Amino acid sequence: MNELIGRDETTIVAPATPPGMGAVSILRLSGPDAFPIARRLTGADPASVPPRTLSRCTVRDGEGRELDAGLVVFFPAPRSYTGEDVAEIHLHGNPILVEEAVAAACAQGAVPAAPGEFSCRAFLNGKMDLTQAEGLADLIVAKTEASARAALRQLQGGIKAAVAPLRERLLSLLVLVEASIDFSDEEDIAPLNASEIAERVSEIRILLARRLESYSLGHRYRDGATVAIAGVANVGKSRLLNRLLGEDRAIVTEIPGTTRDYLSGEVSLSGIPVRLIDTAGLRDTADPVEREGVRRSREIIAGADLTLFLLDGSRPAQAGDRQAYAEVSGRPHLLIRNKSDLAGWETGADFSGEGLKGVLSISAKTGEGVSDLLARIVRELTPEGGAIMAEAPLTRLRHVAAVRKAVEALDRAQRATGEGLSLEFPALDIREAALALSELTGEIAPEEVLDEIFSSFCIGK
C-alpha cells in the first residue's frame, strides 16, 4: 500500500478489459499526465474534445507509427472514476494491439498499474468508501443475478448508508456525554443521566445487531453455500446429486461404496451459488482408498451450511444408518427418506438430532418430491431473505469484525451505566464503537487491510 500511495504523482496505464481477443479492448490512463500522453498517442486535444464523449482517432506509438483506428474519451478530474484526469482509448480487441499501446504509453512516461490501483486511487480520493470498493470487486466476479444485485447495492453505498447514520448518532451521543462530564457544574447545560445514555445506546445496539444478522445471508450471495449429501452407502446419494444437477455427474450402481471420494457440482438456488457435494458412504471400511474418502466426507459435513442425510425409505433403518446419523445430527440438516417410489418402511421418526430442520420424502430415481426439497433447501439457506436483501447485507468477515467490535463496546457502555460508574467509562466505550464503524467504511483503515482488499482486484480496475 505504501508503494501505491507514493505513486499518486505518477500516471498509470493498464487494459481495462479482460485479456484475449474480442470486439473492443480499452486502455485506461489515470494521473497528472493522462491527458498529455493520450493526446500524443491519439492526436485528440482534450481542450477541444467534449468531456466524457467518444471521439474517433488514430492510435500511434511514440515514433508516429500507426497502431490502430479507435476512439478516445477524456474524463477530467474530479469527475472521473479515480478522481484524477482519466483517459480511455478504445482499440480493436487484439492482445497484440493492446500490448503495443501499453508500451507506447509507457514510453511517454506512464507506468504499468498494479492490481486494483485505479480503485485504490478512487478510494484515496474519496470517490468511494471501502465497502463500495469491496462491492465493486464482488460485482465483477458475481456468479448469479442475485449475488450481482447484492454486490451492486454495496457498490452504490448500501452498507455505508445503513452504518453512517448510526455512527453519527454515536458521535452526537458522545458529545452530550462529554459535555455532561466537562460542564456538570454549568446551570445552562442539562447533563444526561445514566438511564438516558443506556436507552440511546440500546437503540443503536439493536440496529447494529440487525446488521450482524444480515451476514448469514450476505456472505452466501458472495461466497456461495455448501450442501452436503450424506448417508450410508447405496441409499441414493449419487442419484440425488445427478437429479439436482440435471446431469450424470456421479456413477450410479447397486454396488455399495461406488463413491469412494466426494463429487461436486454447482447450481443456483434463488440466486445463491450452491455447491452440492456427494460424499462417500459413511461407514467403517478396511479399504484404504474408501477410508480416506470417508474421512474427507466427514470434513465436508462439518463445514457444510446444510446436510441432506439420506435414508433408504424402502427398508427399516439399520445400525449403520444410526451410526452415520450421529455424525450429522448436531449440524443443520434435512432428513431425506429416499426411494418413495418403492413400498415404504422407514418413517424417520427415530431420527431427531439437535440440528434437524425437517423430514422430506423423495424419489431421486423418478424426481418425485425433489422440487419440494429444492424449495426447502432455499428456505434453510435464505432465512428472511427478502427483508435482508432490501438492504445491503454484510458480506465479509471484516464487516462482521468491525460491527461486532462496535456492539461489544456498546454492551460495555450499557453495563457501565447500569453499575453506576462515572460517565468517563461509557464515553470511552461509545467512542470505541464509533471508531469501529469508521474502520468498516475505511475512514480509519490499517494498510494491511487496504493491501488485502485492493490486491484482489484485477489489473486495470
Residue 235 is part of a domain; what is its CATH number? 3.40.50.300
Clarify whether residues 339 and 299 are in a common domain. Answer: yes
Into how many domains does the chain fold?
Answer: 3
pLDDT for position 20: 86
Q: Distance between CA atoms of 310 and 360, rounded to whole angstroms?
A: 10
* 207 in any annotated domain: yes
Clarify whether residues 291 and 273 are in a common domain. Answer: yes
Clarify whether residues 262 and 356 are in a common domain. Answer: yes
Helices (H), 183-287: 194-213, 215-223, 237-245
Cα maximum dimension of the chain: 88
Q: Distance between CA atoms of 25 and 198, rounded to whole angstroms?
A: 58
Clarify whether residues 234 and 364 are in a common domain. Answer: yes
pLDDT for position 44: 94
Choose one of 71, 104, 125: the last residue of a domain: 125
Contacts 24+ apart (CB under 8 A), 59-64: 59/89, 59/91, 59/101, 59/104, 60/104, 61/100, 61/103, 61/104, 61/107, 62/104, 62/107, 62/108
Clarify whether residues 362 and 225 are in a common domain. Answer: yes
Clarify whether residues 280 and 238 are in a common domain. Answer: yes
Clarify whether residues 230 and 208 are in a common domain. Answer: no
Kindly report the CA angle at 122 between 121 and 123, in degrees rounded to 5?
90
* 131 in any annotated domain: no
Clarify whether residues 100 and 186 are in a common domain. Answer: no
* 133 in any annotated domain: no
* Residue range(s) defining the domain that contains residue 182: 138-214+393-442
Clarify whether residues 287 and 309 are in a common domain. Answer: yes
pLDDT for position 387: 56
Q: Distance between CA atoms of 280 and 294, rounded to whole angstroms?
A: 5
Clarify whether residues 205 and 303 are in a common domain. Answer: no
Choose one of 386, 401, 428: the last residue of a domain: 386
Buried b (16+ CB within 10 A) or exposed e, 174-191: bebbebbeeeeeeeeeee
pLDDT for position 253: 45
315 Cβ partners below 8 Å, 6+ apart?
345, 346
Q: Are 111 and 10 in contact (CB under 8 A)?
A: yes
Q: Distance between CA atoms of 457 and 461, rounded to whole angstroms?
A: 6
Q: Distance between CA atoms of 437 and 133, rounded to whole angstroms?
A: 16
Q: What is the pLDDT along the chain (461 residues), one digit of tens a residue?
A: 555 555 668 999 999 998 888 899 999 999 999 999 999 999 999 999 999 999 999 999 878 899 999 999 999 999 999 999 999 999 999 999 999 999 999 999 999 999 999 999 999 999 999 999 999 999 998 988 888 988 999 999 999 999 999 999 999 999 888 887 766 555 555 567 788 899 999 999 999 999 998 898 888 888 899 999 999 888 988 899 999 988 654 444 444 454 445 688 899 988 889 999 988 777 666 566 666 767 788 888 889 999 999 999 899 998 889 998 998 999 999 999 999 988 878 788 889 889 999 999 999 999 999 999 999 999 999 876 555 556 788 999 999 999 999 999 999 999 999 888 888 899 999 999 999 999 999 887 667 777 777 877 777 77
pLDDT for position 61: 87
Residue 96 is part of a domain; what is its CATH number? 3.30.1360.120
Strand 111-112 relative to strand 66-75, pairing = unpaired
* 52 in any annotated domain: yes
Choose one of 103, 125, 147: the last residue of a domain: 125
* 457 in any annotated domain: no
Q: How many residues does the chain have?
A: 461
Clarify whether residues 425 and 376 are in a common domain. Answer: no
Clarify whether residues 375 and 397 are in a common domain. Answer: no
pLDDT for position 304: 92
